[in-house]
Amino acid sequence: METAPATLGVFALGLASLLALIAWLHRMTLRLEIAQDQTTYLSLHDPLTGIANRALFESRLNEAMAYQYLAPTKVALVSIDLDGFKEVNDTLGHAAGDDLIRQVARRLAFALPEEATLARVGGDEFALVQPGMISEGQARWICEGLIRALHDPFVLGGETVEVTASFGVSLEDGREVTAAEMFRRADVALYAAKAEGRNRLKLYDPQMDASRREKRMLEIDLRNALITGAGLFVLYQPIFSARTGAIVGAEALVRWKHPQRGLLSPDKFIALAEETGIINQLGEWVLEQACRTAVESDLLWIAVNISPVQMRHQAFGSRVSDVLNKTGLPAKRLELEITEGVLLQHSPQIEITLARLQEMGIRIALDDFGTGYSSISYLRTYNIDKLKIDQSFTRLMGSDEVTRTIVQSVIQMADALGIDVTAEGVEDESQRLMLAKLGCTQLQGFLLSRPVTAEKLTELLLQQRAAA
């Protein structure tokens, strides 16, 4: 009978280890499940923000669109893109950029209706899908809530920044379009919102496709015009000495005679050229034309408008130098007109380029002065050679006392700094007199001369010489 307790002991031992084994198995299964859950979670969520990623978003979108067969409602897909995110990243660093994305995601998620899914679908791009929509107004209302959620400034490592976003909405019923088409439409609407000045929402409208197509065609035509040289030409608007009334220089202004659309002014194609990078080539072409015209005339100098896009180009300085060599125009007869926005970027690259141009002897004029920041410190830091008072000031000066005072102080400031001032948009005699009296050094405007062809400019210069 001795075996019984032993058997019992073995049995007890066996039971204990079995129980331990079961417990161990249970623990392992649980862990595996958690790990699996975590893997699933990670595969469906954005690691930075914790909100849905594109994969989860697409499946939610497909679900929402399938639901359309059951209920007569629509699905809204909203593409959201932060305005100026790149600047935050560039000035405050990537860690601040990540922090901003996290904070934005948190605020947006908080402002969402319950059935909506918010996802991060790109660096600073978010998307939202909302099923069961009954009206356009409802979609707008949701987006306006999101816009409000971003209203208060963000604090990023001690710095306070204001951030806005643009919204593109596609509101469709799942029977007619695919999920991919929903995405495309929301992006087209987003693009329109950006183009209209950002910080707004746009609903997709088929007209938007037409205007994109049209833009694309215009882009192709512009590239062709640059290759063949057909249709593009430069006009020159003389700039006069306020004291003597003589032509001292001229500003080159590009024109495009389009085969179907007729004569186009720069506001119809410069922005497009900038967006597509064509401006680098176009700007260089204008520069070369202008330098040739100057070489062949006895203009003291020629002014050429330079786009911020060109200034950002690392090789810009050497391009200009090449054009001067090629055309034989001395650097001191060239003036480049830039806008304040260029200086605001505080880009070391641009600073190097500006310094290099000035070392060469080229003068730098600040265009449209008064419409941007108009900071005196920039004039000094960058050694600007000339200010061009924007046309809007010239126009208002006669009727508005405050504008007149501003113009007067700008002229006095330029005088103190020892730099020239050109007033733009002089259209009538009273403006001319007033500006001359205030001490403005140069005048430009329709009263004195409209932009003219190179031939006409030569003629004007000859007449002037004969009269003298």
Q: Which is nearer to ligand C2E, 156 or 306 (CB)?
A: 306
Judge whether 186 and 169 are in contact, CB under 8 Å: yes
Q: Which of 131, 168, 283, 317 binds ligand C2E (CB under 6 A)?
A: 283
Residues recorded for the chain = 468
Q: Two tokens at 428?
A: 């009538």
Within 10 A of 443 (CB to CB), how many other CB atoms are there?
26
Q: Which does 286 bind (CB under 5 to 8 A by kind): Ca ion, ligand C2E, none?
A: ligand C2E
Q: Which part of the chain contacts ligand C2E (CB under 6 A), choosing from 48-56, 67-75, 166-174, 265-273?
A: 265-273
In 3D space, the residue among 294, 260, 316, 286 whose CA is nearest the CA of residue 457 turns out to be 294
Does the footprint of Ca ion cover residue 335 (CB under 5 A)?
Answer: no
Please report how close the Cβ of residue 435 comes to ligand C2E at its closest, in angstroms.
12
Query: Phi first, then psi: what are they for 316, rounded to 5°?
Result: -55, -45
Site string for ligand C2E, 301-320 (x = CB under 6 A): ----x-x-------------
Which residue type, as a one-letter code, is found at position 162? Answer: E
Q: Which part of the chain contacts ligand C2E (CB under 6 A), choosing from 30-38, 86-94, 127-135, 439-447?
A: 439-447
Judge whether 128 and 116 are in contact, CB under 8 Å: yes
Does the footprint of ligand C2E cover residue 249 (CB under 6 A)?
Answer: no
DSSP three-state, residue 115? coil
Chain centre to alpha carbon of residue 239: 31
Site string for Ca ion, 341-370 (x = CB under 5 A): --------------------------xx--
Site string for Ca ion, 57-96 (x = CB under 5 A): ----------------------------------------
Chain centre to alpha carbon of residue 234: 27
Q: Which is nearer to ligand C2E, 51 or 270 (CB)?
A: 270
Which residues, listed in sequence order, are joined to residue 269 by a DSSP beta bridge? none
139-168: which residues touch ligand C2E (CB under 6 A)? none
Q: Which does 445 bind (CB under 5 to 8 A by kind): Ca ion, ligand C2E, none?
A: ligand C2E
Q: What would the 3-class secondary structure string for 121-179 be? A: CCCCEEEEEEEEECCHHHHHHHHHHHHHHCCCCEEECCEEECCCEEEEEEEECCCCCCH
Q: Strand 125-133 and strand 117-120: pairing?
A: antiparallel
Can you tell me the distance from the alpha carbon of 160 to that of 157, in angstroms, rounded to the nearest whole number?
Answer: 8
Q: Where along the sequence are the contacts to Ca ion (CB under 5 A)?
A: 305, 337, 367-368
Q: Where along the sequence are the contacts to ligand C2E (CB under 6 A)?
A: 237, 253-254, 265-267, 270, 283, 286, 305, 307, 367-368, 391, 424-427, 444-446, 451
